Amino acid sequence: MNKTILITASILGITGIILGAFGAHGLKQLISVEAQQTFETGVRYQMYHAILLLFLGNTMLVRYKNKKKIYYLTLIGVLLFSGSIYGLATNALTAFDFKLIGFITPIGGLFLILSWIFIFINFLKMKQ
């Protein structure tokens, strides 16, 4: 499981850097400043959670059962949260109206919050 978590963290980090550069340079002339800032929010949260998964895959402080829950909550959360933000920010460039699926952004955010809550609970239950 640790290897899977670390590979996923690496993929999220790599794509986060690529999307960040694309947002800063490739989209600059194509979308509004507000949409660029929205896109950057998606990149920022993706990178935060790539770092979280790097920690998760390298620590012995989180029990295996919790690691699995946290991993899936984080992965699904990033895909829904950041993914929908990327779509919403670039909505003017596509034929598909991403506003129709904008409701998944807060669902993704909830998954990310839950992943942090599970980490918190895991740490509370740790023996000194």
Average pLDDT of the chain is: 94
How confident is the model at residue 12, as a pLDDT?
98
Q: What is the CATH number of domain 2-124?
A: 1.20.120
| pLDDT over threshold 80, residue 128 | no
Per-residue buried b or exposed e for 33-65, using 16+ beta carbons within 10 Å of the residue's own CB: eebbebbbebbebbbebbebbbebbeeeebeee
Domain chopping of the chain, boundaries: 2-124
How confident is the model at residue 95, as a pLDDT?
83
| pLDDT over threshold 80, residue 90 | yes
Residues 6+ apart with CB under 8 A from 73: 111, 112, 114, 115, 118
Q: Please, which pLDDT band fits residue 86 given cuts at 50, 70 and 90?
A: very high
- Residues 88-92 have a mean pLDDT of 90
Residue 31, classed as helix, strand or coil, is coil
- Per-residue pLDDT reduced to its tens digit, 9-66: 999 999 999 999 999 898 888 988 998 999 999 999 999 999 999 999 999 999 999 9
Per-residue buried b or exposed e for 92-122, using 16+ beta carbons within 10 Å of the residue's own CB: eeeeeebeeeeebbeebbebbebbeebbeeb
How confident is the model at residue 96, as a pLDDT?
85
